[in-house]
Amino acid sequence: MNVTVDAFRLISRAQGEYARCIDDGRMEDWPGFFEEDCHYRITTAANHSEGLEAGVIWADNRRMLSDRVSALLEANIYEAHTYRHILGQPAILEESDEGARSETGFLVVRVMRDGSSDIFATGRYLDRYRFDGDRASLAERVVVCDSSTIDTLLALPL
């Protein structure tokens, strides 16, 4: 295998933009980070290690992610809040010219309207990226939260 792309640079850049998109509240742009036939799932470390398949969010294509967004914007009720994602460096697990698998630790602080900021979730992204020129898009993102407990609700995606 002749690897000529810089997977680390492509992935770091994509992750930075991904986090900024959610933290800025630009939810409409979020599905754009994924491939059309992607898989996205939010689960817990306990489920993941037991090999349990379910997620609190589970999608097997990008249209399901768009539905998440329109439901959030038009249907679901929750108090206004924002996230601050703090991402670790991606660890590249496997790479080729076509794509890469990576794992990245994250910490998400939830900032509520009343001014409180709390650590809402920590965990890791288990990702499969596809490269297209200078762009990396997500073919798969499994969000593995360290804790099995979610405070109140999970509206915005991680």
Partner 1 sequence: MTSTLPENSAKREQDRPEWPDELTRVPYWVFQRQDVYREEQENLFRGPYWSYLCLEAEVPQPGDYRTTFVGDTPVIVSRDEDGELYGFENRCAHRGALLALDDRGSNAKDFTCVYHAWSYNLQGDLTGVAFKDGIKGQGGMPKYFCLEDHGPRKLRLAVLHGLVFGSFDEDVPDIEEYLGDEILSRIDRVLGGRTPVVLGRFTQLLPNNWKLYMENVKDSYHASILHLFFTTFGINRLGQRGGIIVSESGAHHVSYSAIDREAELDAGYSDQNIRSDSEYKLADPSLLDGFSEVGDDTTLQILSVFPGFVLQQIQNSVAVRQILPRGVESTRLNWTYLGFEEDTPEQRTVRLKQANLIGPAGYISMEDGCVGGFVQRGIAGAADEQAVLEMGGESAASSESRVTEASVRGFWKAYREGMHLRQENDK
Q: Which parts of this chain interact with partner 1 (CB under 8 A)?
A: 42-44, 46-47, 52-61, 63-64, 66-67, 70-71, 74-79, 148-155
Least Cα distance to 153 among 61, 52, 71, 51 occurs for 71
3-state secondary structure at position 14: helix
Q: How far is the CB of 41 from partner 1 (least distance, A)?
A: 9
For residue 121, report the phi and psi dihedrals to the nearest 5 degrees. -155, 145
CB of 12 or CB of 66, closer to partner 1 = 66
- For 78, other C-beta atoms within 10 Å of its C-beta total 11
Q: How far is the CB of 123 from partner 1 (least distance, A)?
A: 13
CB of 12 or CB of 147, closer to partner 1 = 147
Cα(147)–Cα(149) distance, integer angstroms: 5
Which letter does DSSP use for residue 19 in this model?
H
Length of the chain: 158
Query: Can you read off the two tokens belonging to residue 102?
Result: 């990576």
Q: How far is CA 89 from CA 13, 105, 116, 126, 142, in A?
A: 11, 7, 27, 13, 17
CB of 2 or CB of 149, closer to partner 1 = 149
CB of 1 or CB of 77, closer to partner 1 = 77
3-state secondary structure at position 116: coil
Q: How far is the CB of 141 from partner 1 (least distance, A)?
A: 15
Q: How far is the CB of 74 from partner 1 (least distance, A)?
A: 5
Q: How far is the CB of 35 from partner 1 (least distance, A)?
A: 15
CB of 52 or CB of 93, closer to partner 1 = 52
